A = this chain, B = another copy of it.
């Protein structure tokens, strides 16, 4: 009998999508950072929908400060809205917790959620708390709406062969702290959407190796990266930059002719911007393995 461990996350999603009714005119294909709902041609904005979950002993340790877990839980979702060129609006917080959970832990979790929403925008609109059996892992599930100006929408599926590939920030080693206190790249993403609209963009949550492979597959392209150009976190290896995951930086493609202008105009002094490679014709380029899979060791 096949289990989730056997087939992995991407293959599972592909099988499930076929089993349920879906919007016939989605503004984004399944598998992008968010679902995109078009409220109608007279609306200047599109509705973004996103859900994400943090699991105790998988995404955070039982002794991780709850306030940091709260920050991370909503920052991950905000990073996905950024990746589409959008902003967060309303959050629903679903908690499945063992009955022995201290009330103070849940309050600290909410304080961390509040910290992040105060900083990046967004309201808590509702929630649900449920019990899991004693000893089961706590699950924090965040669903949110966001919005994006129709002309600023950025997809992962629209890169073209020849486009230049960029990444923000530093990659690798997030486990040493960044995975808990990272900054969703809302501001940089919005600036890009306005000034140098990428041909494709996504956030780096499962590691460059896996996420770039996904962007290339969604866009029907190949890719090449120049490992010497990777913005590797000091103290980390190239393999860590490719595979660790939870970087929550932006990965994007732009027309190659815009690369120099973009590098010259980049206004975020404290946020590195690195040209790391290019998109290539389908079937060409290189392949990368590694990266995070929810169902594999």
The answer to whether B50 and A126 have CB atoms under 8 Å apart is yes
The answer to whether A96 and B130 have CB atoms under 8 Å apart is no
The answer to whether A125 and B23 have CB atoms under 8 Å apart is yes
> Chain B residues with Cβ under 8 A from A125's Cβ?
22-23, 26, 35, 37, 49
The answer to whether B55 and A132 have CB atoms under 8 Å apart is yes
Q: A213 near B: Cβ within 8 Å?
A: no
Per-residue interface assignment for chain A, residues 1 to 42, with 1 indicating a CB less than 8 Å from any chain B CB and 0 otherwise? 111111101001101110111110010001000110101000
Complex: how many Å from CA A296 to CA B107? 19
Complex: how many Å from CA A3 to CA B138? 14
> Chain B residues with Cβ under 8 A from A149's Cβ?
none
Question: Number of A interface residues, CB 8 Å?
Answer: 78
What is the predominant secondary structure among interface residues of chain A facing chain B?
mixed
Q: Pick the contact of A136: B6, B136, B145 (CB < 8 A).
A: B136
Q: A111 near B: Cβ within 8 Å?
A: yes
Q: A173 near B: Cβ within 8 Å?
A: no
Measured CB to CB, the nearest residue on chain B to A37 is B90
Q: A124 near B: Cβ within 8 Å?
A: yes
Query: Known contacts A136-B132, A137-B133: does B4 contact A106 (CB below 8 Å)?
Result: yes
Complex: how many Å from CA A207 to CA B6? 41
Interface-forming stretch among A115-123, A152-160, A250-258? Answer: A115-123
